[in-house]
Amino acid sequence: LLISQMLVSSGVSLEFRYHNTVEVERYLRDVNNTFQFTHLHSIGKSVEGRDLWVLILGKNPSEHQMGIPEFKYVGNMHGNEVVGRVLLLQLIDHLTRGYLSDPLVTRLLNSTRVHILVSMNPDGFESSSRDCMYSQGRFNKNGIDLNRDFPDAFSKKESGMREMEVRAIMDWLKTESFVLSANLHGGAVVASYPYDNSNGGSELQSGSSVAPDNDVLIQLAKTYSYTHSKMHKGDHCYDSKDFKEGITNGYYWYPLPGGMQDYNYVWGQCLEITLELSCCKFPPESDLPGLWDANRAALLAYMQQVHLGVKGQVLDAEGNPLQNALVEVEGRQNLCPFRTDLHGEYYRLLLPGNYTFMVTFPGHQVLMETLTVPYGPDSFSALVHNFQLQRTAATTPGPSHPTQSCIPPQVWRPLDGHSPSLGPSGVTILLVLQVLWNTM
Q: Catalytic: 276?
A: yes
312, 344 in Cβ contact below 8 A?
no
Q: Peptide bond preceding 195: is omega within 30 degrees of 0, i.e. cis?
A: yes
Q: Are 298 and 220 in contact (CB under 8 A)?
A: no
Pairing of strands 51-57, 38-45: antiparallel
Catalytic residue among 70, 165, 276, 345: 276
Interacting residues of 187 by C-beta distance below 8 A, sequence separation 6+: 81, 133, 237, 240, 276, 278, 279, 280, 281
CA distance 33 to 24: 14
Contact between residue 307 and residue 381 where contact means Cβ atoms under 8 Å apart: yes
Q: Alpha-carbon distance 172 to 79, whole Å?
A: 20
Q: Are the CB atoms for 112 and 105 separated by under 8 Å?
A: no
User: Residues 127, 144: contact at Cβ < 8 Å?
Assistant: no
Taking the C-alpha atoms of residue 378 and residue 380, their distance in angstroms, rounded to an integer, is 6
In 3D, which of 62, 53, 56 has the Cα closest to residue 25?
53
Q: Identify which of 265, 221, 263 has the alpha carbon closest to the alpha carbon of residue 246.
A: 221
CB atoms within 10 A of CB 103: 9
Helix (H) or strand (E) holding 380: none
What is the rounded end-to-end Cα distance, in angstroms, of the chain?
58
Query: Residues with catalytic annotation?
Result: 276
